[in-house]
Amino acid sequence: MKSHTEYLWFNTQKRRELVNITDTIERIVHSSGISEGFCLVSAMHITAGVFVNDEEDGLKSDIWEWLESLAPYRQDYRHHLT
């Protein structure tokens, strides 16, 4: 069974960002030479995530609202003290 592994790093400029990596993943899959199978994309950091969805402004707004309701931005979280 063929396999290919590649690690990506992203430097962001804001506290929270959505980074569209579709073109990057398509390029990696194409350059791997593997024509069938599956592609696993995962975040290797606790504060990062991978969403598979449309690149649509309303959806991105919904994601920001959901994240803010889940973990509102504030300075007084106890983990900031460690």
Q: Is 67 part of a structural domain of the chain?
A: yes
Q: Is 13 part of a structural domain of the chain?
A: no
Q: Is 56 part of a structural domain of the chain?
A: yes
Q: Is 6 part of a structural domain of the chain?
A: no
Q: Is 45 part of a structural domain of the chain?
A: yes
> Do residues 63 and 50 touch, judged by C-beta distance below 8 A?
no
Residue range of the domain that includes 34 = 22-81
Strand stretches in the chain, DSSP E:
none
Q: What is the spatial distance between Cα 56 and Cα 53, in angstroms, rounded to a whole number?
A: 9
The single-letter code of the amino acid at 74 is R
Q: Is 9 part of a structural domain of the chain?
A: no
Secondary structure of residue 71 in the 3-state scheme:
coil
Q: Is 3 part of a structural domain of the chain?
A: no
Q: Is 33 part of a structural domain of the chain?
A: yes
pLDDT, one tens digit for every residue, the chain (82 residues): 899 999 999 999 998 899 999 999 999 999 999 999 999 999 988 888 898 999 999 999 999 999 999 988 887 888 878 8
What's the domain count of the chain?
Answer: 1
